[in-house]
Structure 1
């Protein structure tokens, strides 16, 4: 989060608050996603997802759980992942509705995609990728074409048989990637809503110092949750 570097927590720690359980609530997003919210919503559907090595690494059906998926992406090279679909799958979503429905990304976005893709191309935005073939896509993703093709072929075989033999994704989410109409790819990065925890408190939500388990009188006037 640009400009926000934990000043509140740092002030509490400097005042004597006991450090405890500081972590973040992970999510995943397209960079500058408010400018590309439509595409962010369309491409975060449970289609083929790979890391920079061209490998799947989780059940894409969990993409609706942003915390789980954000943590999984954080463990990948570069802390990002590519979610891949094609326009045949997009047409299915336009006609029948998406696999994952949420209150942040409206279903109407599936019919408003092209102007946002055009804006991304004009702006040189690197997190929305389009390609007409696997070879072109491999070049744009900087993944060996043979590796990308094998990953797609393996995934398509699971779609043909209605069984994901790697991560056991819900068969309802197995949509074959044919490349019809061109590929659409979102480069999603791990991100965070904000910090979770950071200082130890008692049952009255009063901040504890590092010297004893009781409430620090020196903190009484300035620090409360």
Structure 2
């Protein structure tokens, strides 16, 4: 009888441990989101959302237009979809990875929002970590994503890139700036124009497309983000005023 009464608690303990392990594995898969209001005006406010799961940390904005909740929802869905696709792009085929993404709102007015994301990615198979940048641009009136070709003349931008004295590089390292300009000089007009036409996130027959080139606007200028070799900085930012 004594052995019987000892066995019962042991079974309960084992069962409790198994339940605890199961709950722990579930919580590990759980998304944790935190949000806070960063700025607000009479007609709109910006809320920061933080997504954390395992070795993923992503911060992104959500916009609240105070007189139009439906429009706010559509705009925020576009932003969240891009964030989801960035996450998938870097982690879908990876194991033992780290992904961090932060953002900066470069432009927010009555017509347009332009968001710059900067990130860091690494996994156990990489020889070195990678830095990257990408963007989301939204027409607030039409409640739709817009790309470089929708708000700039791609032919004019192409000619600017072919003439290296008409644009500036964000890097303050003069030697790096020279090497990055030499990289652009090696590209022909057809490559530049085609890359600009394909710039920014898009969908092709329902499939998300992660392009080579991204763009964003601020009050006074257009900036292009072009990927380059890791030794040259992973990407360059070209500003056209």
Q: TM-score, normalised by structure 1?
A: 0.28
Q: TM-score, normalised by structure 2?
A: 0.26
Higher relative contact order structure (alpha carbons within 8 Å, sequence separation ≥ 6): 1
Q: Which has the larger radius of gyration?
A: 2
